[in-house]
Amino acid sequence: MTAAGSLPGRAAIIDGRAHADALGARIAQQVQDFAGHTGRRPGLAVVLVGTDPASEVYVRSKGRMARKLGMESFEHVLPETVSQADLLALVAQLNADDAVDGILVQLPLPQGLDSLAVIEAIDPAKDVDGLHPVNAGYLASGLPGLVSCTPLGCLMLLKESLGELAGLDAIVVGRSILVGKPMAQLLLAANCTVTLAHSRTVDLAGKVGRADIVVAAVGSAEMIRGEWIKPGATVIDVGTSRVPRDGKNHLVGDVDFAGASLRARAITPVPGGVGPMTIMTLMHNTLIAACRRAGLPALS
Ligand SMILES: Nc1nc(=O)c2c([nH]1)NC[C@@H]1CN(c3ccc(C(=O)N[C@@H](CCC(=O)O)C(=O)O)cc3)C=[N+]21
């Protein structure tokens, strides 16, 4: 930890691990209820293409969490050289498999594979990542679908920390399909006034400085500076960058944590913030998909 990082900040730390554990306990109970009603367990299929070490870690932890909560986990590891056709054939097989309720294809895919085409091939009812255009459209239309895991986890943390979000000014920095765009939609649905900022935004510092809620999802280490943050704002940091520091590799977010925690009222740490919630909302989505597919009422 840096000298600045060890200074006590004023902000409350939003403990993503604790919130994820609490959500996990509720999901585990509902998985048992589901099994009691249907005689089977919710099933999650995770597809990994290639051998990116960080992706391997995430895929393994998703499988481990699914099993821990009593779900079935199906892990498919394909070589980096797999053809688009073979990957699409696996997706078709998983679509047709009744034991599979959720399908997640770990992104990014290796060069040469068309990830949008792969996502479009997933049955929207099994798209637990919420990336299929049908699910993105449901979200934009205010209809029930499946919502991308990371933004859903961020919204849960914001509601836990702030209670009512209506009327607050929110800025989302980053416009990816995986995080930024669905995050902006969720905040809009929660009646925030939303600014969606990106690499071409003019005066990002000024716009961040007017926001009650800052969601940083750019993937650029500590680019949101602490002095930009409006005093009393709530900061959600989606970034996870590995940076060499003091001879070690450190995981840091998109936000200058030490600086921001001197001004924010509450902030998520990295690690231990959004990351653990992302895995748990994937489990939540898998349970929702399983209930809908089984014709059971959505569990709360
Ligand atoms: N189709 C798809 N869906 C995803 O949701 C998806 C993906 N592809 N590709 C990669 C990113 C990354 N991602 C993370 C999940 C958990 C942590 C996590 O639990 N992080 C821990 C720390 C883990 C560590 O120390 O490396 C934490 O923040 O506390 C981080 C990142 C999901 N992703």
Domain boundaries, the chain: 38-127, 148-276
Note the pLDDT of residue 2. Answer: 40
Tell me the per-residue pLDDT of 150-183, one tens digit each, with 9 for 90 and over: 999 999 999 999 999 999 999 999 999 999 999 9
Measured from the CB, is residue 233 less than 6 Å from ligand 1? no
Nearest CA to ligand 1 atom 20: 275
83 marked among binding-site residues = no
Does residue 101 carry a catalytic annotation?
no
Taking the C-alpha atoms of residue 25 and residue 42, their distance in angstroms, rounded to an integer, is 16
For residue 240, report the distance from its CA to the centre of ligand 1, in Å: 8
Beta pairing, strands 241-245 & 248-252: antiparallel
Nearest to 173 by CA among 148, 146, 206: 206
Note the pLDDT of residue 246. Answer: 87
Tell me the per-residue pLDDT of 16-52, one tens digit each, with 9 for 90 and over: 999 999 999 999 999 999 999 999 999 999 999 999 9
CATH number of the 38-127 domain: 3.40.50.10860
Measured from the CB, is residue 253 less than 6 Å from ligand 1? no
Does residue 159 carry a catalytic annotation?
no
Considering the segment(s) 148-276 as one domain, its CATH architecture is: 3-Layer(aba) Sandwich (3.40)
DSSP state, 11? Answer: S
Tell me the per-residue pLDDT of 97-147, one tens digit each, with 9 for 90 and over: 999 999 999 999 999 999 999 999 999 999 999 999 999 999 999 999 999
Does residue 129 carry a catalytic annotation?
yes
Q: Is 241 helix (H, G, I), strand (E, B) or coil?
A: strand
Catalytic-labelled residue, pool 127, 129, 237, 254: 129
Q: Do domains 38-127 and 148-276 have the same CATH topology?
A: yes
